[in-house]
Structure 1
C-alpha cells in the first residue's frame, strides 16, 4: 500500500483517533500511582494534566527528530505501564522526590546507552520481534475485556448486559465501517466507534460530566512541582532495569511500524529512537511525571487506517500538548465509558497480535529450532501475564522483571535464538554433522 497524501482536516481527525486510543492507558498510570501514594485532589489534577502535556512533547521528540534523536516513524509515546509497580514501591518506601530522581537517572541511562543498544539489533530478527509483538498484543486482550465488562472486576455491575451491549455495539460498528466504509470513513473507524459508543453510553447512563465540571480551565507545567529530586541507588537501579524492559518493547514496536510503512529499520534509526525516549523520560522526571515509551496499541491504528505518514501523529502531539494545558477540555476524553474503550481496544490489540503473526510468517518454521523458540517464548510471556503470582516468592526487584510477559518473551526469544541460530553455533553444528557423516561412511 502506498503512502497516502491527506489533507490537514483528515490528518487532524486521525490524530484525534490516535489520542483517544492512547489517552486512557496513559492517564491510568498517574491515576494508579497517585491513588496508591495518597496524592491530594490538587496533586492529582496536576499529575494527569502534566502527564498528557508530556505525552505530546515525548511524541513530538520521536516523530520530528533530527540526526541525534527521533526515529521519525508514526509513533505515539505514552506512560510506561510497566513502571507503575516499581514507582509505587519507591514512593512508598522513600518519597516523591526519590521516585523522580530515579526517573531522571534512568532517562539519562537510556539516552547514553542508545547507541550501544542499537548495535544489538541482530538479536531481534523476525523470529524474536514477531514473537514479542504477538505477546504484546495478546497480553493486552485481557485489559480490553476488563474494560468491556465495565472497568473494575470488583464492581457489582461488571459484565452486566448494558456494559456488554455498549461494548459489542462499538466492536460491531468498527467492523462494519472497516468492511463497508470507503475512503476517509474507513480510516477513522476507531474514532467513529468511540464517539458513537459514547453517545449510546450517554443515553444508557454510562457517561458522567463530573470530571469536566471539576477540572480547571488552564494549567501551567511546573518543573520540580513535588520538590527537588533525590537520588537513591536501589531506586535508580530498579528504574534502569525497567527502562531497559521498555527499550526491548520499543524495539519490537519500531520494527512493527517499520514493517507496516515499508521501511527497513537500521541501527542508526534505533539509536535515535532510544535517545528520544531517554530525553522524554528525563523531561518526565524534571516535570514530575513518569517514564515514557512508544505505545504498541497505536500500531494497530496505523495498520487499520492505512495512513503511513507521520502527519496524523504530529496532530496528535499538538492535541496532547493543548489538552495538557487545558485540563477542562482534556477531561472530555475521560468521559468515554469503559465498555466503549474495551470494544476499541479489542480490535486494536487484536491487530497488534496479528501484526506479530505476520512478522512470524517470514520465519522458516520447517526448522524445528525456530518452532521451539517461538513456542516457548510466547508460552512463557503469556504464562506470566495470566499467572503473575508465580514469581511472588522471588525478590521484589526480580518479581518486577520476571513478572513481565513482555520481558520474559524477549529474554527467552533472544537467548534461545542465539543458542540455536547464532552463525557460529550453526557453523559448528554443520562441521559436527559433516564429521558424523564421514565417520558413518567409514
Structure 2
C-alpha cells in the first residue's frame, strides 16, 4: 500500500465520522438561533463557530496527557440537553448570560473532575451497559424522524423520503455483507454518498447553501458581548454539564469495551477535564457545551477502525469546516432522509454495544434484571411520552425531559440501592 493510498483511506474514514455527526452538530445552533431571534449573520457565525469548536473539543479529548484527554476514539459535539436551558436563559435573562453561565459551568466541571471520577464504583457493568443501551434506544426516534423527512415537515413520511432513507440503509448493509477491507470500513460513507446521488434524481439536493456561504469565518471572543453572570443560569448550566458527564461516562465505557481498554478513575478524570476545557473554550467564542456523540461510537463498532489518527483527522476537518463555511455548507446538501437511514445503523450498533456489555453481568440475579428493565423502561417511556413530567417545575426539565438522563439516573440509583454492599466494599 502506497503512502498516498493510505492517506486517502484515512481521510475517507475521517470524513465518515464528520458526516455521521454533522447533522446533529448543526441542528443545535439552528434550533437555538431561531428560538432566540438571531439575525442571519449571527446565526451563520453560531453554526460556523460551533462546527469549529466540535473539532477543537474532539482533539482535546483524544489528546491524552497528564492533565486531560481520555485518549479514546471519541467525537464530541454540542449537547442536546443544553438546548432548552439555553433558550430559556437567553429569553429570560440575555444571550450574554448564557455564555457567562457556560463559562462558569465549564470551570466547575474542570474542578470537580477528580471528585466525579471517584464515583466509578457507581458505574459497574450493569449500569454502564444499561446506560449505553438506553442511549441507543432513545436516539432511534431521531433517526426515524430524519428518515421520514424531519419532525414537523410538510412531506413527513412521504414515499420518496422513505425510499431514500431505507435505500441508504440497504446500501450500507449490502456493503457490510459483501465488501471487504477498506470499502467495508467506509460503508456508512458509501451509503450516504449513494443515498445523496439517488436523492439528486428527485431534485432533493439543494446546492444553494454552498453558493451563499462565505469562504472564511474567523472566531471572535465574546462575539455576542461581554458575558453576564447570574446564579440561576449558572446552576442550570452546571446541572446540564453534570448530566452530560453521566452520558459521557457511558460512552467512555462503551468505547473501552470496543477498544479492549479498561477505563479507570484516572481516565475518567482526564476525560471530564477535557470536556470542561471544551465548554470553557466554547463559552469564550460563544459556542456551546460539548459532550460525546453516540452515533460515532456506533460507527466505530460498524467499521472496526479504532485508530486515534482517524479521530484527529475528523477533528481537524471539523475545524476547517468551521473556518471555511463554504466547504461546510456542502454537507448541508445531504438530505435528512439519507442521514436518517445511516443513523438507524449507527444507533442500532450503540444498542448492540450496550447489550454486549450487559452480557458480562449475572442476569440470573433478579436485582440486575430489575435495574436493566426499569431503567430502559424509564428512558424509553420519557422518550415516547415527553410531556409526562411537563407539570413539574421548569427547573427540573433538564433532567425530566431527556430519556437518556432519566434512564441513566434510574440505573445509577437502583444499582446503589440493590448493590449497596458492593459499592461500599468493592471487590
The match for 2:214 is 216
> What RMSD, in angstroms, separates the aligned Cα atoms of the two structures?
1.2
The match for 1:98 is 97
Mapping for residues 385-400 of structure 1, pairs under 5 Å: 385-400=383-398
Distance 1:49 1:207 in 2: 21
The match for 2:379 is 381
Q: Say if 2:122 and 2:423, in contact at 8 Å, map to a contact too.
A: no
The match for 1:362 is 360
Secondary structure of the structure 2 residue equivalent to 1:78? strand
Q: Say if 2:121 and 2:423, in contact at 8 Å, map to a contact too.
A: no
The match for 1:198 is 196
Distance 2:35 2:422 in 1: 50
Q: Say if 2:134 and 2:408, in contact at 8 Å, map to a contact too.
A: no
Distance 1:365 1:177 in 2: 35
Distance 1:373 1:285 in 2: 37
The match for 1:320 is 318
Distance 1:218 1:21 in 2: 24
Bigger radius of gyration among the two: 1
The match for 1:163 is 161
Distance 1:367 1:426 in 2: 19
Mapping for residues 134-149 of structure 1, pairs under 5 Å: 134-149=133-148
Secondary structure of the structure 1 residue equivalent to 2:102? helix
CA shift at 1:8, angstroms? Answer: 2.6
The match for 2:187 is 189
CA shift at 1:400, angstroms? Answer: 2.1
The match for 2:266 is 268
Secondary structure of the structure 2 residue equivalent to 1:75? coil
Structure 1 range deviating more: 271-280 or 376-385: 376-385
The answer for unaligned runs of 5 or more in structure 1 is 1-5, 428-442
Secondary structure of the structure 2 residue equivalent to 1:283? helix
Distance 1:116 1:332 in 2: 43
The match for 2:296 is 298
**1:44 to 1:365, Cα distance in 2 relative to 1, 3 A:** same
CA shift at 1:424, angstroms? Answer: 6.2
Secondary structure of the structure 2 residue equivalent to 1:120? helix
CA shift at 1:412, angstroms? Answer: 1.2
Mapping for residues 8-407 of structure 1, pairs under 5 Å: 8-152=7-151, 154-407=152-405
CA shift at 1:426, angstroms? Answer: 9.8
**1:189 to 1:424, Cα distance in 2 relative to 1, 3 A:** closer
Provide the TM-score with structure 2 as the length reference: 0.97
**1:353 to 1:169, Cα distance in 2 relative to 1, 3 A:** same
Distance 1:141 1:424 in 2: 33
**1:214 to 1:129, Cα distance in 2 relative to 1, 3 A:** same
Distance 2:424 2:306 in 1: 38
Secondary structure of the structure 2 residue equivalent to 1:99? helix
Q: Say if 1:110 and 1:278, in contact at 8 Å, map to a contact too.
A: yes
**1:326 to 1:424, Cα distance in 2 relative to 1, 3 A:** closer
CA shift at 1:422, angstroms? Answer: 2.2
CA shift at 1:7, angstroms? Answer: 2.9
Q: Say if 2:386 and 2:401, in contact at 8 Å, map to a contact too.
A: yes
Distance 1:358 1:124 in 2: 16
CA shift at 1:117, angstroms? Answer: 0.5
Q: Say if 2:16 and 2:189, in contact at 8 Å, map to a contact too.
A: yes
The match for 1:3 is none
Distance 2:20 2:34 in 1: 23
Distance 1:424 1:332 in 2: 52
Secondary structure of the structure 1 residue equivalent to 2:222? coil
Distance 2:202 2:27 in 1: 24
Provide the TM-score with structure 1 as the length reference: 0.94
Distance 2:92 2:263 in 1: 41
Q: Say if 1:419 and 1:425, in contact at 8 Å, map to a contact too.
A: no
Residue-by-residue CA offset, 1:251-309 (whole Å, 9 max, x unaligned): 00000000000000010000000000000000111000110111111000111111111
CA shift at 1:129, angstroms? Answer: 0.7
